[in-house]
Amino acid sequence: MTEKYYKHIYGPIRSRRLGNSLGVDMMPLKTCSLDCVYCECGATTELTAQRREYVSADSIIEEIDAYLANNPPPDYVTFGGSGEPTLNSGLGRIINHIKQRFPKQKLALLTNSTLLNNRQLRDDILPCDLILPSLDAVSADVFRKINKPAASITCADIIDGLKALSSEYKGMLWLEVFIAPGINDTDGEIAQFKEVISQINPTRVQLNSLDRPGTCGTLTAAPPASLTKIANQLKPLPVEIVASL
């Protein structure tokens, strides 16, 4: 199999957070549990919280096997792509397969955290070496404004799922907070972030902001001074700014 025939994997690309990363696209464009105002993949066309095998796990495994058997290992095989990867019910089988056949290969998962209150999903992802979940709001009104979730998803459930994952997971947990100016950057919201994130206790807290246009034309990137202020407000949490400054 040559690279031009790959349908579900891409790269490796050079990632500022993950080094040399081989991406795995688990979902059709754009199937997701959120319709975030900042999403660079475009507006969500299928808004759902239903887990099923949207893309064949066997097809994904075939492509990953072909790549890893014939190329230098990337720093990470990273599950992400065109929608929320944890919606794919085959994720656990793919993770276990890679860990069995390529035991030294590190795995990373990018997730919007919406399904982490699902015990089966948490069990599926525990073998990953690095999980990068998102938390963009800690109050219900801000959550609805920035993330525009599927009907069954609440901010409280996301926070509970993150706490549960943190208590069970033995790998690195890098929590990303996307700062949307005028939406989730008030002093009150940041104070609530600090309280909740302290309870989650991630390995790192990474502040991000708009890099390329999202789905909301009026959304702008947070100014560097604003990100620095927020980072200082969140200390002594292990916070870093990963947005392009």
Q: Residue 173: name the closest of 120, 116, 229 by CA.
A: 116
Q: pLDDT at residue 157 above 80?
A: yes
Taken as a whole, the chain contains a residue count of 245
If one counts the domains in the chain, the total is 1
133, two tokens: 């979940």
* Average per-residue pLDDT for the chain: 93
Rg (the chain; Cα; Å): 17
Task: Report the number of secondary-structure helices (H) and strands (E) in the chain.
Answer: 7, 10
For the chain, the 3-state helix, strand and coil shares in percent, each to the nearest 5, are 35, 20, 45
d(CA 210, CA 86): 23
* pLDDT tens per residue, range 107-137: 999 999 999 999 999 999 999 999 999 999 9
- Range of the structural domain that residue 91 is part of: 3-241
Q: What is the pLDDT of residue 1?
A: 38
* pLDDT tens per residue, range 160-188: 999 999 999 999 999 999 999 999 999 99
pTM, entire model: 0.93
* pLDDT tens per residue, range 15-68: 888 999 999 999 998 999 999 998 888 889 999 999 999 999 999 999 999 999
Say if residues 125 and 95 touch (Cβ distance below 8 Å): yes
Helix locations, 102-241, DSSP H = 119-125, 140-147, 155-168, 187-200, 224-234
CATH number at residue 14: 3.20.20.70
The percent of residues above 70 in pLDDT, for the chain, comes to 95
d(CA 11, CA 21): 7
